[in-house]
Every structure is written in structure tokens, then in C-alpha cells.
Structure 1
Amino acid sequence: MSILSENLRHLRAQTKLSQQKVADAILISRGAYEKYESDHAQPPNDTLVRISRYFQVSIDLLLTVDLKKYPLDGLMKLAENRILLPIAVDSTGENKIEIVPFKTQMGYVNGYSDPEYIEALQHISLPFLRNGKYRAFPAEGDSMPPFKDGTLIVGKYVEKIQEMKVGKTYLIVTRGGLVYKRLAGIEENSIRVQSDNSFFEPYEIPLHELLEAWEYECSILRDYEILDFANNDVKGMFLSLKQDINRLEKHLIQ
């Protein structure tokens, strides 16, 4: 069997994924994926790129190195296995902060390393955030205090696990979705995280499940993200709010 087919079987076994789950993630049929594992067919270039991004292993390693010789978490430490983060800039070279849509977390998990997907995201620019790559993610659920649904959490990209700091909060992208957690510890093969909501128990995330980590920088209310300040309705809203505040102040003075 080819090195590629052996590596595909090994990676899937190590991550305890079914052929159907991998096939769905890389947008092909289970039958087509089975042929790649059994060495009855070779994936076309676009499919090979998606396989590489899904397993977080470079194409060079997939095709030339017997991955069974390396611990799965150790692959990410190999210099030749670096997978570049797509970064979007505007016409002036300004680093754009992409906004991950609400209710499409799995869409991001499948497209986070696809330059075309990232380019299609809406974006904002915050002049006080420099010297790094930033992205905005939606807060959803009760495990993200103090953020409520409708808030965007802006995070700074963390290139290496070793750069994460215990006690800091992170937006963590795993194969299962997005979570916002406080880092409680870094183990040899996993990280331990906890929610600021004491209702939720701490737990560990295996390193092979970890796709990205973004350190918390600031948050944005979703309403302000979509406001068009040139729109008369928006101007009227703020004028009305100002009038309400003035009336309240007069009432307090009286």
C-alpha cells in the first residue's frame, strides 16, 4: 500500500473517526474516501488539500513520511508540518478582522484553513489592535460568561500551544466546534480548560482535537457590528436615546 493510504488509515484510527465523518468533512462520498485508504485510487489535488487541512498534516508529510513513527501530537512540532493561517488584508494592507457568522460554527470548523472561505467572511478593522492576527467569533450558550448571545469575542491568533498562558481565556476551535474557555493547564498530550460558569465542569481537550486557539482581546456587541451610521434610522435611534437621557437627567434634578 502507498504511504498516503497507510497514513490516512493511521490518522483516522488515532483520532477515532469513522470513514463517513472524514468523508463528510472533506466534501466527498464515503466510497471515494474508502478507495483512498485502500489504495484503489489517488485523491485529486483539491481533495488532497482538504485532507491535509482536516488532519492538520502537511501534504509533504502525508505523501512521504510514515506517520506511524511519530506521536500524533508531536506532528505539530515538526517545522515542515507548519500549515499557514490564511490572513486577509484590504487594499491598503490593513489587517482585516474576519467575523465568523452566528449559527455556523461547523461551517468555520470545515473552512477555517480555506483562504476562499476566509476571504468571503465579513470583516471589520479596529485600529487599537495591531501586531497580530485577530478574528471575531460569536458567543453562544451559557458557558461563555460574562458574554451573552449576540456578542462577538475578538481573539488574537496563538501560533504555538506553548504560547498559551494558564489563567487566560481563549476561543478554542476543535473538531467538534468552538468553545470559549479559561486555560487551566497544559499537559503532555492535552490542555485542561474550564468555564467561568461554575455550573460546567473542567475538562481536557486532546491536542489532536485542537485546531486553533485565539487569546481573548476584546468583545463587541453584535448590534454595533451591524450598525450603519450613515443610515437615518440609526441616527434617529441615537437621537431618541439622547433625548431619553436628557429627560431622565432633568427628572433627577427636579
Structure 2
Amino acid sequence: MSIFPFKRRALRLLLLSLLVIACLVMARFQLWRAETRGERFDREQAAMIATPIALSGQQRQRDELVDRAATARGHWLAEKTLFLDNKIYRSRPGYHVLTPLRLSGSDAVVVVNRGWMAAPRLRSDVPSVPTPAGEIEVAGVTRAFETRIFELEESEPEGPVWQHLREADYRQRSGLAPLPVILLQTNGEGDGLARDWGSADDPRTKHYGYAAMWLVFALMAVAYGLFAWQKK
């Protein structure tokens, strides 16, 4: 009796087992993503309605500041305004306008994302946005600087239009000492900027769907294996 059919069946069983394990691992990964992103979503939504904290130059602990409702009082540094490129709002390309606010009674600044504006017709044109003078109070919610960025080719920020906003780059190129968070502005009118920061989509729903898909793939693989085994 030849042993080759047995070896082929054993190889099929091994490959099928690896496929099922891979599907289960991917399902577990999606459940983990649902948990972690869901917790972040809950914090962000809670920050929108929580009692705000007042930002000051003495606050330097990122974990105590991120994802919080906050207010900041100070003066705009309009000459330091940056435009974060490739931001889509209602299917239109544009920029996020970022201006540092020097906090009253301090040399520290907080970078404020003032909102979205449409890109000019010619990409070579530098956008402009009205910036009031004098002391103002900005209300909003805090977010972390960008940390993990995948780029095919690392690019250095040049001019007022940037592709990414990383804290180390900003400190080096602006010469300022920002707080370790960005403030997404929610108040203010008359500057033509869109400030639609809220998201009604809970990311858990998407990841639960992906997890269910991988579980279905695993069940299909098991069903195929049982069918093939009985056929033999």
C-alpha cells in the first residue's frame, strides 16, 4: 500500500489547519482593534461635552492633556501659521489651518488647528486666512501630535504647507516650545473655516464586521476540510 496518499492528506490537513489558525488570528486582531479604537472613540466623544480644563505653560504631561476639552487664552502668532495639506472635507480638497497661540503670561504656545479651508485653484498659491489681533480665548478639544506615519520617501517640511505635523519637526523648525498636544478649535465665527471635528461613526462597528468576516472564512475552511475528508 502506497504511503503517498496518506502524506498528501496529512499535508492538506496541515495547510487547512494553518489557514484556520490564520483566520482566527485575524479575527482576534480585529476584535482587539475594536476594543482599542472604541475606547479612544469614547474618550473623544466624552471630551466634546466635558467641563474644559484651562491650558497653561506649566502643563507638560501629554497623558494628562490629550483627549480633553480645553480652553486657552493668549495671542495668535499669525506669522507662524501652517497649512496641513491633503485634508478632504465633503469631497473637497483643502488644508487644515494651524496657528500657534502664545499663552498669556507664558512663553509657551499651543498649536491650534483652527479648521478646514478649501485649497486655492493653483496649488502654488499660498493660502491666507484672517487672524484677529489681541488677546482671545480659544475653546476646543485636545489631540496628540502625529506619531506613526508611513511614507515611501521621507520628506522634510518646507514653507508654510506641510504634509504632516510631528512634534519634533515643529519644535525644530518653528523655534517654539509647544504643549505636547494640538487644540482643535470649536468656537469662533467669521473666518470661513469649517470645524466639524465630531464623528458619529463608532469604529467598533467596522472592526466587528471584519472580525465576523474572518470567522466566516475559518468556518468555510473547516467545512471544506470535513467535506474533502469524508469524500476520501
Q: Is the shorter-chain TM-score for this pair beyond 0.5, marking a shared fold?
A: no
TM-score range, shorter chain: under 0.3
TM-score of the two chains, using structure 1 as the length reference: 0.22
Larger-gyration structure (1/2): 2
